[in-house]
Amino acid sequence: MNVKNSWRLIALSAMMLASASCGKDDSDDPAPDKLFGGEGNVLIETTVKNSDGASGQSYLQQIPQISSSVNMSQGIQIGFSATISTVGNDVFVFPEFGTAGKQSIVKYEHTPKGLKLAGEMQIIPNSYPVNLTKISEDKAYVPMYNLGKVLVINPKTLEKTGEIDLTEYAFNDSSADPAQGLLHDGYYYLPFDQIGANWMPYDEYRQVDVAVIDASSDKVVKVISEKASGLCFPTRPFLKDMIFVNEQGDIYVACAGYFGYNPEYVKSGFACISASKKEFDESKTWDISDTPIEGCDYKPATIYNCKYIGNGKVAAYVGVIELMGDNPYTARNSMAVMIDLNKKTIKKIEGVPYTDGHSVVIEYHGGEVLFSSFGVDKAGIFAYNPATEAVSHLMASSVNIAYLHFFE
């Protein structure tokens, strides 16, 4: 080897060392006033899933309006299928399934020009805080699914101010799996999913439990149970509208049952709580699994999501056993329907494609019901007009839209 070659080799080594020393700034701390997530008054969460459907990546961003297609370049990366809660202009982002990724709740503040990082709160790892319900200006409840407790926080400062222990109500394990709650008339109604190791209800405990909590004292007034209907799994914890109040003040709790994965047990539907009595009203509780879906030959085997739009009408995604595939996370087994709670009818909405579990958002905005759907040929946001029953494809997307919110 001649001297020239020797120097070349040495130079190569030196270059590598030099290049290595010019490290990137790995800091995650942004400038305080930096805005993220793009401009607009519409907040969406998108998910790009892996082929197994059980893993992938999700993004939070703002868009000006629901139209044409989604550009994700401005998206803020969040945990895969992370839950979002919004209160006014505050946006709370929860950890990925509570057990992976960053163990914190991150708060952003919405501005039309972008989202501003407004705080971060460390959580107990693996506790699965899953949603936030505002109780007052300085109090919010955050159910911790895996711990069976409710974290009481100040949503302004993201400080813990208390805790409501619900572990005594757990069946056969340490957590009653508190899901999506609703504040009504000073009481916080918090359903328990009561699931086993396989994330499904215990076969020997098919009932609906709801804790009634006095929101002023943070005390559990009682836990009410509905056992007659056989309904179970009341509310999915990351979907905010599966518990709602109608014009008469009755609280309806949508129950997913076994998500249609147990063909031998498909009971699912709505458990009704009379708010005045704070007890279940069995006459209004409805197992929808025996009701044919108008417009097709199927019956529902579960409710994946729903949105009450008034007058006893509920826009929903129901699961159909005949559409189940091999993979529960990718099967397009969800059908958009309109449910009439008064008439106890279910009608298929034609024009909204069957979707998978990552696109089941339903919002009611501007007199139209907006469904996110991830169909075989079309995906994005579909608008259904309840008056005309017409459906239009408002926004195209090649990724799942997992959350949708309109800021006032």
- Binding to another protein in span 303-342, by CB under 8 A: 326, 328-330
Q: How far apart are CA 233 and CA 194, in angstroms?
A: 7
- Binding to another protein in span 16-35, by CB under 8 A: 16-17, 19-21, 23-24, 26, 28
| Secondary structure letter of residue 354 according to DSSP | P
φ, ψ of residue 71 to 5 degrees: the values are -105, 120
How many CB atoms sit inside 10 A of residue 152's CB? Answer: 18
Of the two residues 147 and 231, which places its CB atom closer to another protein in the complex?
147
* Interacting residue with another protein among 55, 68, 136, 216 (CB under 8 A): 55
Q: Of the ranges 11-19, 178-186, 361-369, 384-392, which one interacts with another protein (CB under 8 A)?
A: 11-19
Q: Is 388 in the site for another protein (CB under 8 A)?
A: no
Q: Is 100 in the site for another protein (CB under 8 A)?
A: yes
> Cβ(187)–Cβ(135) under 8 Å?
no
Q: Of the ranges 73-81, 219-227, 248-256, 276-284, which one interacts with another protein (CB under 8 A)?
A: 73-81
Of the two residues 92 and 259, which places its CB atom closer to another protein in the complex?
259
CB of 65 to another protein, least distance (A): 20
- Binding to another protein in span 143-172, by CB under 8 A: 146-147, 167, 172
* Run of H or E residues at 10: helix 3-21
CB of 186 to another protein, least distance (A): 31
> Cβ(303)–Cβ(288) under 8 Å?
yes
Of the two residues 132 and 147, which places its CB atom closer to another protein in the complex?
147
CB of 309 to another protein, least distance (A): 28
Exposed (0-12), middle (13-18) or buried (19+): which is 56, by Cβ within 10 Å? Answer: middle
Q: Is 68 in the site for another protein (CB under 8 A)?
A: no
| CA atoms 107, 237, 279, 301: torsion sign | positive
| Secondary structure letter of residue 268 according to DSSP | -
Q: Is 261 in the site for another protein (CB under 8 A)?
A: yes
Size of the site for another protein (CB under 8 A): 77
Exposed (0-12), middle (13-18) or buried (19+): which is 171, by Cβ within 10 Å? Answer: middle
CB of 340 to another protein, least distance (A): 30
Of the two residues 5 and 283, which places its CB atom closer to another protein in the complex?
5
CB of 170 to another protein, least distance (A): 9
CB of 299 to another protein, least distance (A): 18
How many CB atoms sit inside 10 A of residue 220's CB? Answer: 18
Q: Is 228 in the site for another protein (CB under 8 A)?
A: no
> Cβ(137)–Cβ(143) under 8 Å?
no
> Cβ(97)–Cβ(78) under 8 Å?
no
* Interacting residue with another protein among 119, 312, 351, 375 (CB under 8 A): 375
Cα–Cα distances in angstroms (integers) from residue 329 to residues 50, 133, 176, in the given order: 10, 27, 24
Question: Where are the extended beta strands (E) located within 195-275?
Answer: 208-214, 219-226, 243-245, 250-255, 269-274
CB of 193 to another protein, least distance (A): 12
Of the two residues 102 and 134, which places its CB atom closer to another protein in the complex?
102
CB of 293 to another protein, least distance (A): 22
Give, in degrees to the nearest 5, the angle at Cα 90 between 85 and 94: 35
Place of tokens 């990925």: 96
Q: Is 77 in the site for another protein (CB under 8 A)?
A: yes
Q: How far apart are CA 127 and CA 23, in angstroms?
A: 35
Of the two residues 239 and 341, which places its CB atom closer to another protein in the complex?
239
Of the two residues 5 and 217, which places its CB atom closer to another protein in the complex?
5
Edge-to-edge strand list for the sheet holding 345-348: 293-294, 345-348, 334-340, 313-319, 302-310
Of the two residues 19 and 388, which places its CB atom closer to another protein in the complex?
19
Q: Is 382 in the site for another protein (CB under 8 A)?
A: no
- Binding to another protein in span 184-213, by CB under 8 A: 196-200, 203
Q: Is 263 in the site for another protein (CB under 8 A)?
A: yes
Give the distance, in angstroms, between the CA of residue 378 and the centroid of all CA atoms in the same chain.
22
Q: How many residues does the chain have?
A: 408
* Interacting residue with another protein among 33, 168, 264, 408 (CB under 8 A): 264
Q: How far apart are CA 137 and CA 158, in angstroms?
A: 12
Q: Of the ranges 82-90, 124-132, 230-238, 315-323, which one interacts with another protein (CB under 8 A)?
A: 124-132
Of the two residues 157 and 327, which places its CB atom closer to another protein in the complex?
327
